[in-house]
Amino acid sequence: MKRISISTLLLFITSIAVFAQMEGKKPISQPLVSHIFTADPSAHVFKGKIYIYPSHDIESGAKEDDEGGHFDMKDYHILSMKKIGGKVKDHGVALDIKDVPWAGRQMWAPDAAYHNGTYYLYFPVKDKQDIFRIGVATSNKPQGPFKAEPEPMKGSYSIDPSVFKDTDGTYYMYFGGIWGGQLQRWDDNEYHANAALKKPEEVAYLPRIAKMNPDMKSFAEEVKEVQLLDENGKPFLEKNNDKRFFEAAWMHKYNGKYYFSYSTGDTHNLCYAIGDSPYGPFTYKGIVLKPVQGWTNHHSIIEIKGKWYLFYHDVQLSGKTHLRNVKVTELKYNPDGTIQTIEPYK
Ligand code: FUB
């Protein structure tokens, strides 16, 4: 008899739950493109245009497993549009895995930054030893093509890099993701190949942060844990899986406060926590986006012409967890600075 993996079972249960919630409801927004599958959208405004740096989902034939082996992406395409609701342009292949000398497989969620005339693409990919590292590639255009550095960023590991420029001009990278993202294998920045996942009563894994050097290709300090606390100022335990960090870190600043948002992974929420410094501590405030159709939930939050937007994905076009489509919807704040929770289907 065919063995059903835990992820397949969880996907099945989640799909039933999300489809049940969706009954009679419609998605609040439509896919931005439908000619390719795209996910994990990191949006930025460069040169007055909106650029989206997504994962490029494909059907590679890789078997689904508990480590996300079916997310077997091999390149990045960058999308752009002049305004929200405008025509979306696909700029073609911006970086191919075959042009990254150290890469093995699985190009996951990227991000981008601009500094001093150069655009930087940050991307997680497994190296030839099957360990996730973060690479950097450069271009003089926001849409690429990008040229990868010959080695991954020194001291980098795990997945989902997200680069934030603070108002004083300092750049920070947030990263990390558990399970297939391998964060559980890293303790005090040391690699432990056979590390077991934490037990429910243990303190949950924390995302990582490091200040960037002005070269934008290296960390200026040792990688640290981002301090993420529950509503009572206590660390989350692993069993708080509807609120604790899983993957998909994103930072934005609103009214002088730092908003750290992330996915809870196996419970599929996009949550956020607020703090007074890029390092935290961040105190949990609530849900930005309720679970979407598909297993993963991954996003970015940016301000465009005085309005705020959430870029996210679901699987509206394919119904398959690894073939996603990016979307955008407006994000609103309450007068006290909390975010109004978005229901993806109404
Ligand atoms: O796209 C592959 C992985 O799925 C991302 O790195 C995670 O954040 C999840 O969205």
Output the pLDDT for position 339: 98
Residue 325: inside a domain? yes
Is residue 346, in this structure, part of any structural domain at all? no
**Among all chains, which residue has been given the structure tokens 């073609």?**
92
Q: Which of 17-26, 135-144, 178-187, 290-299 has the lowest mean pLDDT?
A: 17-26
User: Is the preceding omega at residue 281 within 30 degrees of 0, hence cis?
Assistant: yes
Give the Cβ contact number of residue 116 at 10 Å: 7
Identify whether 1 is part of a domain: no
Q: For ligand 1, pick from 60, 108, 111 the residue to mutate: most ligand atoms within 8 Å of CB.
A: 108
In terms of DSSP bridges, do strands 37-46 and 118-127 run parallel, antiparallel, or are they unpaired?
unpaired
Q: What pLDDT digit, counting tens, does each position of 192-218 carry?
A: 999 999 999 999 999 999 999 999 999
Asked whether residue 205 is domain-assigned, the answer is yes
The CATH code of the domain that includes 227 is 2.115.10.20
pLDDT value at position 17? 58
Whether the pLDDT of residue 253 is over 60: the answer is yes
Output DSSP code: residue 15: H
Residue nearest to atom 2 of ligand 1 (CA): 108
Domain count, the chain: 1
Question: Under a CB-based contact definition with an 8 Å cutoff, are residues 10 and 297 in contact?
Answer: no
Q: Answer yes or no: is 59 within a domain.
A: yes
pTM: 0.95
Mean pLDDT of 31-58: 98
Give the C-alpha distances (Å, rounded to integers) separating 155 from 194, 224, 318. 19, 11, 37
Pick from 118, 127, 131, 112: which is nearest to 173 by CA? 112
| Amino acid 21: pLDDT | 62
Residue 55 in domain = yes
List pocket residues of ligand 1, CB cut-off 6 Å: 39-40, 55, 71, 108-109, 159-160, 177, 247-248, 296, 298
Look up the domain containing 218 and give its range: 6-331
| Cα 345 to ligand 1 centre (Å) | 21
Q: Which residue has the higher pLDDT, 308 or 4?
A: 308
Split at pLDDT 50, 70, 90, the class of 14 is low
Residue 11 has pLDDT above 70, yes or no: no
Nearest CA to ligand 1 atom 9: 296
In the block, residue with structure tokens 């558990």: 178
Q: Tell me if residue 237 falls in helix, strand or coil.
A: strand
* Residue 342 belongs to some domain of the structure: no
Q: Which sequence positions are flagged as catalytic?
A: 40, 247
Is 43 contained in some domain? yes
